[in-house]
Structure 1
Amino acid sequence: MGKFNQDALLLLDYVGGKENIAAVTHCATRMRFVLNDPSKAQEDKIEEISCVRGIFTNAGQFQVIIGNEVPTFYEEFMSVAGIQGGTKEEIKSAAKQNQNMLQRAVTMLAEIFTPLLPAIIVGGLILGFRNILEAVPMGFLDGKTITESSTFWNGVNGFLWLPGEAIFHFLPVGITWSIAKKMRGTEILGIVLGITLVSPQLLNAYSVNSTSAADIAANWSWDFGFFTMDKIGYQAQVIPAMLAGFMLVYLERFLRKHIPEAVSMIFVPFFALLPTILAAHLILGPIGWKIGSAISTVVNTGLTSSLNWLFAAVFGTFYAPLVITGLHHTTLAIDQQLVADFGSTNLWPMICLSNIAQGAAVLAVVYAHRGNKKEEQVSVPSVISAWLGVTEPAMFGINLKYMYPFVAAMIGSGIAGLFVTLFGVRALSIGVGGLPGILAIMPKYYGVFFIGMIIAVIVPFILTLFFRRAGIFNQLDRVGEAISPIDDSLSIPVTSENVASEVVSVYAPLVGELSPITDSKDPVFSQGTMGQGVVIEPMEGHVYAPMNGTISLVFPSKHAIGIVDDHGIEMLIHVGLDTVNLNGQYFETHVKQGDKVMIGDLLLDFDIDGIRESGFLTQTQVVITNSDSYQVDPIIKDGNVTNDTGILQVKTI
């Protein structure tokens, strides 16, 4: 009988038996199921299985976190279940059966805009900074703006328009590229299509409303003899770019099926791109513009009408649940359309305040549970993360665990959102969705928005403490009872022989930019489920041994390596996110399971450019997977590291 035989039998029973499993596979840390009927999964019982570290559902997949022994568990599970596994692509395809049309659309929208977020956020900060420079009269400058008083800052302001224009005016290029990339079309065709929507030969979209129909007909149209077509640009327009991008991809797919491969290199791009460009300017663009304008008008009207208080209260309160479902990604497109149509957005300020409220609720839990060192390893970084714009660690790590902080944050967010909406607060663009978000707000609303931020901090903080003491929405965290450390039930038993009797230094396994583990893009790591550690964005594609020990795991897809040292400290080095899907491509290992290694030994090479060009992130997680048994302290919190830089100290609790 194998090590996990009993646990595998229990999991098989609790997911609904063999007949409820449509497909199953695994990655470096978790089992990934597609269930015929997800409601049959007994989640409470699954979480009680000794080897299970957590569960969650994402993109139609029911995922059970096991840890770095998941390959062994998987083999035993498949043996007792008597079924065959599937490839990662088969799993993704099967997972769609658990998603309705709305979920599929939201997933698609998220996957299109997620690669664009870094640029859009940077653009928001740039616009906010430029607005301070050129639009805010300063008392100490006799009422003049900074640009009016300083040649240097006037030059800086003009220079910053270069990236600002590139990000927002040329947003359609990013959208059409992202659609082509996501749907496995030809990416360069997506880029070319986007450029044709924003070409300098076209009348800029921002100038259309101030240009007469007669001027457009005379100077901004193509005359084909039997019909004319307006030369209208679609700068900053979202829906026209999306419609054109989808047409290009589907037309390319159709042509590849029907044009012989021998001539496909010539005719597929030609007959996919030119008809799409024509349709984009003749049909899709005008229709998409009207749809986008209609949506933004409805939202803007709702937030400026006599019923704006109701719209704001509902949206502000229920934005956080939208994050859980993934529907919040739809607001990004609406925000961008509002900016394109009205020059600013009144939706994003409420989103920013929701993030602040989630962080404030966690801060109240930190205060109420002060002294709980184990929980603080998750809660304190979660506050910082939420106030810097990333709320998933706060929501999934703390607030949803106890529930009453989550409700308190929703109420505080609703009140703050109502307040700023009643005063008409608007943002120049989206920005960092936390405390720095004030930089994206139009300067004349700074004061009101700052008060809204205070509301978003104070109300959730007070309500969280009140709900806890009154027992409202609170079934787990009773006042006067001992508070169990977070994830304490997930501790890995360690024998006295395996406990470290000295401080062990862990060195960086890669050359790159180090950040706290809470910055991981994978919630399984960022929430501390897999243990404490760091993430490193690699600058070089080499992984070195960070401590002396034995190789305990070399994952078949070569993207993850486990090491255990002589004291029993277990480490997982996980290169990239979802890179298991590459099936070893771009990776070359230099060790095998059971090998002894010394600090600085080369373990793995990987092709950074190849991984990124395949659409995967290279952010690497370095975690102590049995950190429940040790005190893991960072030597440095962030910054550039090399493979001889000490990053962690590990000692017995």
Structure 2
Amino acid sequence: MGKFEKDARELLEAIGGKENINAVTHCATRMRFVLVDDAKADKARIEKIPTTKGMFTNAGQFQVIIGNDVATFYNEFSAISGIEGVSKEAAKSAAKSNQNVIQRLVGTLSEIFTPLLPAIIVGGLILGFRNILEGVQFGGSTIVENSPFWNGVNSFLWLPGEAIFHFLPVGIAWSVTRKMGTTQILGIVLGITLVSPQLLNAYAVNGTSAAEIAKNWSWDFGFFTMDKIGYQAQVIPAMAAGFLLAYLEKFFRKYIPEAVSMIFVPLFALLPTIIAAHAIIGPIGWKIGQGISFVVNGGLTSSFAWLFGAVFGVLYAPLVITGLHHTTLAIDSQLIADYGSTNLWPLIDLSNIAQGAAVFAIYLLHKKNKKEAEISVPSTISAWLGVTEPAMFGINLKYVYPFVAAMIGSGVAGMVSTIMGIRANSIGVGGLPGILAIRGTDMAKFVIPMLIAVVVPIILTFFFRQAGIFNKIDKVDAAAQGADFTMDTAILEGAQEAAKTKIATGTTVKVASPLNGQVCALSTAKDPVFGEGLMGQGVMIEPSEGVLVAPFDGTVSALFPTKHAIGLISDTGAELLMHIGMDTVKLDGKGFESFVKQGDRVSLGQKMITFDIDFIKQEGFSVETPVIVTNQAIFQPDIVGNLPRQISSGATILTATKI
């Protein structure tokens, strides 16, 4: 009998048998299953298997944590089940069958736009700044009209700023081919054909008559013509063309001999795609845009304008994703020409503000995640300056729920703006500076919908995350977020002030293991709040004994009433949180006993909490315990030694260095 044969057989039965497994593979620490029906997996039974150390579902995969011996376990599981493993990519592909359409769409958008984020964020910030230079008026003229210097700066910033969005289809087509594993240079060439200078710029299409396009901007093939129209800043045509190119390349590679594939595969894949992009994909996009323009114009002139304000406010952000929002500029211009002002631009401006507010809420929720802050902070600034693509593609669409919160907030603000009859004298200035484009009699009134566009998305983003609404990847453990958590404010503030002002930079605090057991990477934690580092960085310990001791000399700054989590502050100001188990707050203190109270002084190795591991597992809960440094703005945590490994309480697992 193999080392894990009994446990592997038990896991096979607990997971629903061979017939419930669609695909299986493994990584460094986990068995990764794609199940036919996740509900058939008996999680309580799996928890009791000695070899398993927890489980969770992510991206359509049911993952069972095994540890260092996962490769051996996997081989024995395959022998018992008779199921051959697949590659990780094949498992991911199979896992998509467990994802709904929205999850697949968001996942695809995320994979395509993630490599483009640095350029989009920089371009968004620069365009927002140019919006101010070109739109803010002093004494009847703009900044660029008053100052030769700022006019020169504005002109120069077009190069890195607006150029990024003009040529965005090049990046999108490249990223699609990168995701699909096809020839990336063909994606770049395809993208260039969508924005070539030989084409009529997409920004100029709405101001060019059909007659002029037919005369000067079309290819004449004798028995048919094709418009020479570019797709600058457009997302959908570039994505659709990119996927068509990738699928054609894969198709022809199957049938064209390898000896001549380098010649004919690119030719047969690229040329039909370019033709389709200009003859079918692009024109359909413009027809959709024209239809939207007609609906918008009708809504603005109807007796149900207030309802239109709400609907347009909700739907404008999705229009930005498609690139069709450019069609609204023509309507705005015509309204200003006919009536001297437009009530459409205020709605657009409010949508900018709402998307920025939702990103700002994510920053507040995830502020300990420094890597994400590098995206969320500039994205917030960019959106509040009128350019929302970095916010939407960088953060809001990734999590979904802030995007929905922003849409709702924009809808409410848009309805209020329309009811109040707010109009703009000009267009182009977006975000918070957009108030400067509002006609003078409406400026004071516009503050109300602006506040709504900020407050409502922030509140809804917090609510949706807490309630798990529109939220599949960022669910919050109420205990981890402090729903039943009381902090000794005096202790905390005093320690923080001391750490900032009295502790010398470079001071290092050694953090000893508070438990006996196996220490693993924090990313293996089942709860994404811990696994993604949202609460702080550190390690995760699978305890072998239910005794939690002090990891250093310090003070108890927090103790949950349910005794399942405790916060400490070292004498040098490092803050540590130890959370025993996942969702163990639901035990209401059963199985836990504390030997300290909030405000107590503790010494290294002092017993603080005991817990009944068997009882906790019998109740269906994991005992994995994150140990994290929560004040990373002051102390930099670093892991000591290799992970995973067995560790005894008192052995150093982390250091926290004063920044």
Give TM-score scaled by structure 2 length. 0.56
Equivalent residue in structure 1 for 2:655, among 640, 649, 653: 649
Judged with a 3 Å threshold, the aligned counterparts in structure 2 of structure 1 residues 412 and 129 are, in CA distance, closer, same or farther, namely: closer
Equivalent residue in structure 2 for 1:251, among 243, 248, 260: 248
Whether contact under 8 Å (1:632, 1:648) holds in the other structure is: no
Deviates more, 1:256-265 or 1:448-457: 448-457
Instruction: Give, in angstroms, the shift of residue 449 of structure 1.
Output: 3.1
Aligned residue-pair number: 472
Counterpart position of 2:593: none
Instruction: Give, in angstroms, the shift of residue 130 of structure 1.
Output: 0.9
1:65-109 CA distance string (max 9 Å, x none): 566665566456557756442211331332243346665455434
Judged with a 3 Å threshold, the aligned counterparts in structure 2 of structure 1 residues 89 and 463 are, in CA distance, closer, same or farther, namely: closer
* Mapped pair 1:527 → 2:527: no
Inter-partner Cα distance in structure 2 for 1:34 and 1:233: 43
Judged with a 3 Å threshold, the aligned counterparts in structure 2 of structure 1 residues 636 and 465 are, in CA distance, closer, same or farther, namely: closer
Whether contact under 8 Å (2:368, 2:536) holds in the other structure is: no
Inter-partner Cα distance in structure 1 for 2:464 and 2:215: 63
Judged with a 3 Å threshold, the aligned counterparts in structure 2 of structure 1 residues 254 and 84 are, in CA distance, closer, same or farther, namely: closer
Whether contact under 8 Å (2:21, 2:34) holds in the other structure is: yes
Judged with a 3 Å threshold, the aligned counterparts in structure 2 of structure 1 residues 118 and 394 are, in CA distance, closer, same or farther, namely: closer
1:406-485 equivalent positions in 2, closer than 5 A? 414=408, 418-420=412-414, 422-423=416-417, 438=431, 444=437, 447=447, 448-450=449-451, 452-457=453-458, 483=485
Counterpart position of 1:62: 62
* Mapped pair 1:307 → 2:274: no
Whether contact under 8 Å (1:31, 1:63) holds in the other structure is: yes
Deviates more, 1:416-425 or 1:211-220: 416-425
Whether contact under 8 Å (2:359, 2:376) holds in the other structure is: yes
Counterpart position of 2:156: 159
1:226-625 equivalent positions in 2, closer than 5 A? 226-291=223-288, 293-294=290-291, 305-308=305-308, 311=311, 333-334=321-322, 336-339=323-326, 341-342=328-329, 345=348, 347=351, 349-357=353-361, 414=408, 418-420=412-414, 422-423=416-417, 438=431, 444=437, 447=447, 448-450=449-451, 452-457=453-458, 483=485, 503-504=509-510, 527-528=532-533, 532-533=537-538
* Mapped pair 1:171 → 2:177: no
- SS of the residue corresponding to residue 34 of structure 2 reads strand
- SS of the residue corresponding to residue 234 of structure 1 reads coil
Instruction: Give, in angstroms, the shift of residue 217 of structure 1.
Output: 2.8
Give TM-score scaled by structure 1 length. 0.56
Instruction: Give, in angstroms, the shift of residue 289 of structure 1.
Output: 2.4
Letter in 1 for 2:180: M
> Identical aligned pairs, as a percentage?
53
Inter-partner Cα distance in structure 1 for 2:392 and 2:228: 43
1:25-40 equivalent positions in 2, closer than 5 A? 25-40=25-40
Judged with a 3 Å threshold, the aligned counterparts in structure 2 of structure 1 residues 383 and 105 are, in CA distance, closer, same or farther, namely: closer
Inter-partner Cα distance in structure 2 for 1:464 and 1:61: 22
- CA radius of gyration, larger in: 2
CA RMSD, aligned part only? Answer: 5.6
Instruction: Give, in angstroms, the shift of residue 226 of structure 1.
Output: 3.2
- SS of the residue corresponding to residue 85 of structure 1 reads coil
1:205-241 CA distance string (max 9 Å, x none): 2222222333223322223333333222222223332
Instruction: Give, in angstroms, the shift of residue 333 of structure 1.
Output: 2.4
- SS of the residue corresponding to residue 306 of structure 1 reads helix
Letter in 1 for 2:224: F
Judged with a 3 Å threshold, the aligned counterparts in structure 2 of structure 1 residues 479 and 228 are, in CA distance, closer, same or farther, namely: closer
Judged with a 3 Å threshold, the aligned counterparts in structure 2 of structure 1 residues 52 and 393 are, in CA distance, closer, same or farther, namely: farther
Instruction: Give, in angstroms, the shift of residue 34 of structure 1.
Output: 0.6
* Mapped pair 1:223 → 2:220: yes
Instruction: Give, in angstroms, the shift of residue 260 of structure 1.
Output: 2.4
Counterpart position of 1:556: none
Unpaired segments ≥5 residues, structure 2 = 331-344, 381-390, 439-445, 468-475, 488-507, 513-521, 540-623, 637-652
Inter-partner Cα distance in structure 2 for 1:310 and 1:117: 30
Deviates more, 1:301-310 or 1:10-19: 301-310
Inter-partner Cα distance in structure 2 for 1:21 and 1:234: 45
Counterpart position of 1:150: 147
Whether contact under 8 Å (1:633, 1:650) holds in the other structure is: no
